Structure 1
Amino acid sequence: MSSARIPLSVVDLMPSRESDPYTRTMSDTLAFAQGVEKAGYHRYWVAEHHNSEALASSATVVVMAEVAAATSTIRVSAGGIMLPNHAPYVVAEQFGTLDAFHPGRIDLGLGRAPGTDPWTSRVLQRDAGAASSFPDEVSLVQAWLGPVQPGQHVQALPGQGSNVPIYILGSSTFGASLAAQRGLPYVFASHFAPDHLMTALDLYRTNFRASEHLDRPYAIVAANAVVADTDERARYLFTAMQQRFALLARGQMKFVPPVDDIETVWSPEEKAVVNRMLAESHVGSPTTVRDGLDDLVERTRADELMLSAETWDLGDRVRSFELLADAWGM
């Protein structure tokens, strides 16, 4: 399959500038979703993060509802719901409700990470063993979104029988194994944790069991893609994201403007950490990034790419995805 026929999708972490009110972040989110829909992207997924000054994607389902209402064709999902933070029954109700409002446009990505720091994780999680119960809780969500079973006394309404598509998210081999066992599509978070990408994909494909959901593996690979008219301009825009990860290494959750020389901002140790975390980042002109993503598809045999771009200005972010869409032949 040629890269031009592989769907491109978008994951939005909702970067939030300290100087702006959250109302600006929310309006930017809707404008961004509308922009990527117009450009022809397949899905818009919003992440789940908590207690972060830099990322405003905490009330994921609420954001999804607003995005779905502001768009008309693009599929909308959580990328993902961090299941240890939520009761499976409530998740099924929420996504069944979203599907009832927007039939055929809603997906559900499920992950087992907390999406936050250890202190906030303790506040969010229902019990200390929630993460270890992830496979069982995925089964519960599947059951409450699936057909009613004989003798079933508790139903998720709306939700029951909606069969909202479920995707397993991961950055290790754990999620890959679970997705393979359940015959579910798998999304690898190589946009910030690329170390185990190839190992996880190989494990997923090798152990995949066909199901009523899929007859063959379906792998989505997440990566960063920052596109501008020139390589130099794109590298400048990318420094905003590089700085966010450098600050994260210092324990600071901030989103800051791009800089002319990133070498003046980070230490050698921070540079090494950031470069490892952002190794699957494609930055440059449309041709540069298209070629890089072509290589990513060839290396991973991805069925779909899920792309992130954290630029300081909304206009640059929308423009980045427009330029890539044109280069990709969408």
Structure 2
Amino acid sequence: MVGLSVLELATVEEGRRASEALEAVTSVARGVDELGFQRIWVAEHHGYRSVGSVAPPVLATHLAGATAALRVGSGGVLLPNHPPLAVAEQFTTLAALHPGRIDLGIGRGPSTTDARAVRALRGTDEPITDAAYRAAVVELLGHLAGEDGPRVLPGADESPEPWLLASSPGGAAIAAELGLPLAIGHHIRPGNTIDALTRYRDEFRASRWREQPYVIVCVETLCAQTDEQARELARPSALAMAGALQGRGTEAELPTPKEAERQEIPSEVGDRLAALRETQAYGSPSTVRTRLTQLVERTGADELMLSTPVYDPAARLRSLELAATGARDE
């Protein structure tokens, strides 16, 4: 099995405090560091009721200080919302504090198109074009490389490793053109994964960042002792996803397990939710091992990044431990 990493959204269960959600991420990071995972990335979302990962540079800094060997980074910084120089300064500073351990994943996402978030972050609600996004990526890479432009950090001899995040062939093509390693959001748009990876590998150009293509595939993974226990553990996140599929997006809540027992998956999204879950890795260690192995075989992934949508940190870490043990036993 390929290397394993973790994607964290700092899930906030309904009725919980942000401090609890962020402490849970810290606990998980320490645990996967001890388990030998390769990296942990934190996402950037704005205005979501159940997502506490809103400031990747801040959270990544905290996690890097709380762990020893784990690579830490963003999965990712939503570049259209930030000046490229500011992003370069933040992550170059972080790389100087924790040499050899910092990743800078950049991408686009719902919080770059949501009108309220865009207006608050950029002062305009004009959508960013594909050309402008590519130009921002190029500018950021120039700052990281110390090319023309303002000095990023005096005396810096360490830079973060840049990654491009994508869930479509178009995003993968930018990564290929610029010679960047690619993290593909299979958990977001699984139907795009194969086409995006094919385009990335076919069009890849070697660069100062990578001589050969390198792919992380991100997959929702929830592992318990039995398939039935995994389904029970997944019920709160299934209800949250059902809310998102119904168009409630940022307002979809993550109910407590007790509250989730009383709620039903809406029939109008049940089939869509089930179809999405079939593309991910939910179940017992043997089931998850099979799903992850099949995913690696289909995609040629160099690494898998596991997103585990469970609030309880002990359950989240146990799920990751079971998944890793099963994968390594293979």
Q: Give the TM-score, by structure 1 length.
A: 0.92
**1:123 corresponds to which of 120, 125, 134:** 120
Q: Secondary structure at the match of 2:190?
A: coil
Q: C-alpha offsets along residues 16-57 of structure 1, whole Å, 9 cap, x if unaligned?
A: 012111111111111011111111110100011011110000
* C-alpha displacement of 1:267: 2.4
Structure 2 letter corresponding to 1:164: P
Q: C-alpha offsets along residues 98-133 of structure 1, whole Å, 9 cap, x if unaligned?
A: 001100100000102243633222222355253531
Q: Hey, what does 2:71 align to over in structure 1?
A: 75
Write out aligned runs for 1:126-165 (5 A): 127=124, 128-132=126-130, 133-147=132-146, 149=147, 152=148, 154-157=150-153, 162-165=158-161
Q: Distance in 2 between matches of 1:159 and 1:97?
A: 11
Q: Distance in 2 between matches of 1:38 and 1:304?
A: 18
* C-alpha displacement of 1:277: 4.1
8 Å Cα contact 1:88-1:140 kept in structure 2? yes
Q: Hey, what does 1:54 align to over in structure 2?
A: 50
Question: Structure 1 residue runs of 4+, over 4 Å off?
Answer: 158-161, 259-264
**1:227 corresponds to which of 216, 223, 228:** 223
Q: Hey, what does 2:287 align to over in structure 1?
A: 288
Q: Distance in 2 between matches of 1:246 and 1:198?
A: 25
8 Å Cα contact 1:145-1:159 kept in structure 2? no
Q: Hey, what does 2:237 align to over in structure 1?
A: 241
Q: Secondary structure at the match of 1:255?
A: coil
Q: Distance in 1 between matches of 2:293 and 2:42?
A: 24
Kindly tell me the number of residue pairs found equivalent between the two proteins. 323
Percent identity for Structure 1 against Structure 2: 37
Write out aligned runs for 1:24-63 (5 A): 24-63=20-59
Q: Distance in 2 between matches of 1:289 and 1:165?
A: 30
8 Å Cα contact 2:24-2:312 kept in structure 1? no
Structure 2 letter corresponding to 1:292: R
Structure 1 residues 311 and 261, CA, compared in 2 at 3 Å: closer, same or farther?
closer
Q: Hey, what does 1:194 align to over in structure 2?
A: 190
8 Å Cα contact 2:111-2:117 kept in structure 1? no
Q: Distance in 2 between matches of 1:280 and 1:118?
A: 30
Structure 1 residues 159 and 190, CA, compared in 2 at 3 Å: closer, same or farther?
farther
Structure 1 residues 130 and 312, CA, compared in 2 at 3 Å: closer, same or farther?
same
Structure 1 residues 131 and 90, CA, compared in 2 at 3 Å: closer, same or farther?
farther
8 Å Cα contact 1:114-1:121 kept in structure 2? no
Q: Secondary structure at the match of 1:35?
A: helix
8 Å Cα contact 2:236-2:260 kept in structure 1? no
Q: C-alpha offsets along residues 206-242 of structure 1, whole Å, 9 cap, x if unaligned?
A: 1111122222111111101101111110111112221
* C-alpha displacement of 1:291: 1.3
Structure 1 residues 282 and 328, CA, compared in 2 at 3 Å: closer, same or farther?
same
Q: Which range moves more in the overlay, 206-215 or 89-98?
A: 206-215
Q: C-alpha offsets along residues 232-266 of structure 1, whole Å, 9 cap, x if unaligned?
A: 10111112221111112331321113479989612
Q: Secondary structure at the match of 1:196?
A: helix
Structure 1 residues 295 and 262, CA, compared in 2 at 3 Å: closer, same or farther?
farther
Q: Secondary structure at the match of 1:197?
A: helix
In the alignment, structure 1 residue 318 sits paired with structure 2 residue 317: yes
Where is the helix percentage greater, Structure 1 or Structure 2?
2
Q: Which range moves more in the overlay, 249-258 or 195-204?
A: 249-258
In the alignment, structure 1 residue 107 sits paired with structure 2 residue 103: yes
